[in-house]
Amino acid sequence: MRIIVDCMGGDNAPRELVRGAYAASLENSASFILVGDSAEIQRIAREDGLDLSHFDIIDASETVFMDDDPLTVIKAKSNSSMAVSLRMLAAGEGDAVVSTGNTGALFTGATLIVRKIKGIRRPAIAGLLPMECPVLLLDSGANVSVTEEYLCQFAVMGSIYMQKNFGIRSPRVGLLNNGAESCKGTPLQQNTYKMLAAMPEINFVGNVEADKVPFNACDVLVCDGFTGNILLKSMEGMGRLVKKTLKKVFYANAVTKLSALGVKKNLGAELSRLDSSELGGAPILGISKPVIKAHGSSDAKAVKNAVKQAIFYASSGTIVNIAKEIKVYVPTEGGTAN
Amino acid sequence: MRIIVDCMGGDNAPRELVRGAYAASLENSASFILVGDSAEIQRIAREDGLDLSHFDIIDASETVFMDDDPLTVIKAKSNSSMAVSLRMLAAGEGDAVVSTGNTGALFTGATLIVRKIKGIRRPAIAGLLPMECPVLLLDSGANVSVTEEYLCQFAVMGSIYMQKNFGIRSPRVGLLNNGAESCKGTPLQQNTYKMLAAMPEINFVGNVEADKVPFNACDVLVCDGFTGNILLKSMEGMGRLVKKTLKKVFYANAVTKLSALGVKKNLGAELSRLDSSELGGAPILGISKPVIKAHGSSDAKAVKNAVKQAIFYASSGTIVNIAKEIKVYVPTEGGTAN
């Protein structure tokens, strides 16, 4: 197993990428290809005392930045670390790519360079929400607009991913909506509800409201990428607000500081369960080879976990199964435009 | 000031409505009209030892339930407590309505019975998010689809509400979006961004991402009601998940239980600041008279706070100001269909 790590472009690149890949190499038998500013990568390794002699380091002079247009990756910056990483994957010089870079560019690059699985209309970023039980959210932000057919394919891809990677035999698929009843939402949700309910290949459990998502309502949650982004970031923001509030309470005075000592360990452990960095990155499902998007702000631990996930995903048979089972889903009536 | 309380239809109706209205009557000089099953209201008052002799109680035999179609309120259930309450408001027999009932029905009833302010295309439910600084979210769930023009009017209405009710001189208006850049979102957000940026009557601060909402990014946040529902409920769900997690940590053993004692008071106070029941209900802005929607699960305290808010709103001059300042906003190019 050869993991290609796009070392540039994230908030903490390349340092945390190098550190994370190195940490992953100690725990996994995979080999590693680091792509990016090779002088900088070597400098970081020296500073941190990391032995990269068993790593391949591929120099890529350019970086796709967070505010670059997604198409940059195949046009102006076709020599960027991201583009080089994806071309190596496409050419079979590695088995998976992990990147913390520009989400839109990675999605576009994966689609145009690595290519979709045959029959897939649109790939989706499948983020794992760190809830009571993990929930796979797709699309997590790539496709701001979707059709009923995309959502049906997301449901199939997400189900296969949760089967193959989490051992859930019949993953429960929910449709993110503003109410439980089948009539809720816009025509997109109303039509999709009917189509999902008629698909024997998935275990559709109906509409799921956003406040039910944390409490084991489903294993796979499908929605358009705009709404997925709002859900994901609302939860992140609220989590941060509560943490900030807890800190304020615990640092208020001597008594509360003493109290903090008593729960610190347990509280830390429980809150880190709700921390997305524990769960690694998000695969772009529907791409013919494994591409994992890790959070832009990933630290070494998050990168290490994303690499672990990439290894597991690449050997899980998910992609082969998606290729075998994917179908075309034609809206039953009306349907929304693309 | 005469407050009409629709006592039926919420999860805890009519008991918590009666209790909440009574509690409000002790703290405010307003008079109260309770609408609903009068025998049941009297029975609750006797049981609780509440003296309702100075309350008007109007018998309404029917209830609009949570799963009723919104149009029920003006058709099959035109004698429901909700319909009667709204007709009394329209006829000038009271100055504001507070209801915990079916949101869609209250919105429809308010629009068709009490009527919109002249020039308003669509009213919006304006929920106050209990963040570091309160954020007025409109639409909070009534209009699943909106146009650019609706969103521009929401921005004006929300600004006037925050000026008149919170004393904020120049409320910062944000557009909920999946990124900060003006190119983000669907054509709806892209077009609306341009229109909001060109309106001298508001203080537009650009796109606001969902994870920034808790941290004082804006005073007024505009979006369609579908997305507003997802934002609101994601935050509610995440808040509940964290509370559940804290309970688990604090009740783990003797040491943690002791720790809990040390922070209980402060923690309770801080978390209740993040609790929407402290903030009362959500006005339906754009309606020609004050209609306040309180949460379906409101307890007496939440009802009391919603009544307080209704009194403040009704005497704030918000509606007169909206009527004076509202305009028609024509999309600059293209624009989305209604």
Question: How far does chain A reach from its first CA to its final CA, in angstroms?
Answer: 38
Residue B22 φ/ψ region, left for φ over 0, alpha for ψ in the -120 to 50 degree band, beta for the rest: alpha
CA nearest A306: which of A335, A276, A285? Answer: A276
Residue B330 at interface with chain A, using a CB cutoff of 8 Å: no
pLDDT of residue B278: 56
| Residue ranges of B 76-135 with Cβ closer than 8 A to chain A | 131-132
Dmax (CA) for chain A in angstroms is 65
- The one-letter code for the residue type at A272 is S
Contact A234 B229 (CB under 8 A): no
- The one-letter code for the residue type at A182 is S
Residue B215 at interface with chain A, using a CB cutoff of 8 Å: yes
Give the strands of the sheet with A135-138, arranged side by side.
A127-129, A135-138, A220-222, A172-176, A203-208
SS3 content of chain A, % helix, strand, coil (to 5): 45, 15, 35
- What is the rounded distance in angstroms from the CA atom of residue A24 to the CA atom of residue A31? 10
Residue B232 at interface with chain A, using a CB cutoff of 8 Å: yes
Convert the pLDDT of each residue in A52-103 to its tens digit.
Answer: 999 999 999 899 998 888 898 888 899 999 999 999 999 999 999 999 999 9
* Average of per-residue pLDDT across B107-118: 97
In this structure, are strands B31-36 and B2-6 parallel, antiparallel, or unpaired?
parallel
What b/e string do you get for A107-126 counting C-beta neighbours within 10 Å, with b at 16 or more? bbbbbbbbebbeebbbbbbb
Strand, helix or coil at A214? helix
Q: In angstroms, what CA-CA distances link A1 with A299, A311, A314? A: 23, 7, 8
Residue of B nearest to A265 (CA): B249
Of B237, B242, B263, the CB nearest to A242: B242
pLDDT of residue A279: 66
- pLDDT tier at A180 (50, 70, 90 boundaries)? very high
Give the number of beta-carbon pairs within 8 Å between A and B: 163
- What is the rounded distance in angstroms from the CA atom of residue B11 to the CA atom of residue B5? 15
Of A144, A237, A240, the CB nearest to B186: A144
* Helix residue ranges, H only, B297-337: 300-314, 318-325
Residue A170 burial (C-beta neighbours within 10 Å; 0-12, 13-18, 19+): exposed
> For the residues of B181-245, what is the DSSP string, one character each?
STT-SSHHHHHHHHHHHT-TTSEEEEEE-GGGGGGTS-SEEE--HHHHHHHHHHHHHHHHHHHHH
- pLDDT tier at A202 (50, 70, 90 boundaries)? very high
Contact A245 B215 (CB under 8 A): no
Contacts of B78 (CB under 8 A, 6+ apart): none
- What is the rounded distance in angstroms from the CA atom of residue A101 to the CA atom of residue A293? 8
Higher pLDDT, B70 or B107: B107
* Average of per-residue pLDDT across B292-317: 94
> What are the structure tokens assigned to B331, written together?
């999309």
Question: B-chain residues within 8 Å CB-CB of A231?
Answer: 210, 230, 234
Backbone angles phi, psi at B16, to 5 degrees: -70, -25
Contact B267 A261 (CB under 8 A): no
Q: Are A186 and A147 in contact (CB under 8 A)?
A: no
Higher pLDDT, A142 or A257: A142
pLDDT, chain B, mean: 92
Q: In angstroms, what CA-CA distances link B169 with B159, B175, B200, B269? A: 9, 19, 14, 28
CA nearest A106: which of A319, A321, A318, A296? Answer: A296
Higher pLDDT, A228 or A268: A228
CA distance A321 to chain B (A): 32
CA distance B314 to chain A (A): 30
Contact A263 B242 (CB under 8 A): no
Q: What is the DSSP letter of B94?
A: -
- What is the rounded distance in angstroms from the CA atom of residue B145 to the CA atom of residue B14? 32
* Average of per-residue pLDDT across A206-221: 97
- What is the rounded distance in angstroms from the CA atom of residue A326 to the CA atom of residue A180? 27
Convert the pLDDT of each residue in A281-305 to its tens digit.
Answer: 899 999 999 999 998 889 999 999 9
Residue of B nearest to A229 (CA): B178
Q: List the Cα angle B321/B323/B324 in 5-degree steps.
A: 65
pLDDT of residue B337: 45
Query: The pTM is what?
Result: 0.92
Q: List the Cα angle A51/A52/A53 in 5-degree steps.
A: 95
Residue A141 at interface with chain B, using a CB cutoff of 8 Å: yes
> For the residues of B43-71, what is the DSSP string, one character each?
HHHHHHT---TTSEEEE--B---TTS-GG
Question: How far does chain B reach from its first CA to its final CA, in angstroms?
Answer: 38
Q: Are B209 and B178 in contact (CB under 8 A)?
A: yes
Q: What is the DSSP letter of A315?
A: T
> For the residues of A71-86, what is the DSSP string, one character each?
GGGTTTTTTBHHHHHH
Q: In angstroms, what CA-CA distances link A330 with A148, A149, B156, B320? A: 8, 6, 42, 50
Convert the pLDDT of each residue in B205-243 to its tens digit.
Answer: 999 999 999 999 999 999 999 999 999 999 989 888 888
Does residue A338 register a pLDDT over 50? no
pLDDT of residue B269: 77
Question: A-chain residues within 8 Å CB-CB of B145?
Answer: 186
- pLDDT tier at B338 (50, 70, 90 boundaries)? very low
- What is the rounded distance in angstroms from the CA atom of residue A283 to the CA atom of residue B38? 59
Helix axis angle for B225-250 and B254-273, nearest 10°, is 150
Q: Which of A244-258, A269-283, B277-291 has the lowest mean pLDDT?
A: A269-283
| Residue ranges of B 261-320 with Cβ closer than 8 A to chain A | 261-263, 266-267, 270-271, 274
Strand, helix or coil at A206? strand
CA distance B256 to chain A (A): 5
Residue B39 at interface with chain A, using a CB cutoff of 8 Å: no
Residue of A nearest to B181 (CA): A67
pLDDT of residue B279: 66
Of B238, B249, B255, the CB nearest to A235: B238
Q: Is the dihedral of CA B330, B334, B336, B338 positive or negative?
A: positive
Task: Please give the helix or strand (H or E) that residue A32 lies within, else none.
Answer: strand A31-36
Q: In angstroms, what CA-CA distances link B125 with A216, B284, B289? A: 29, 4, 14
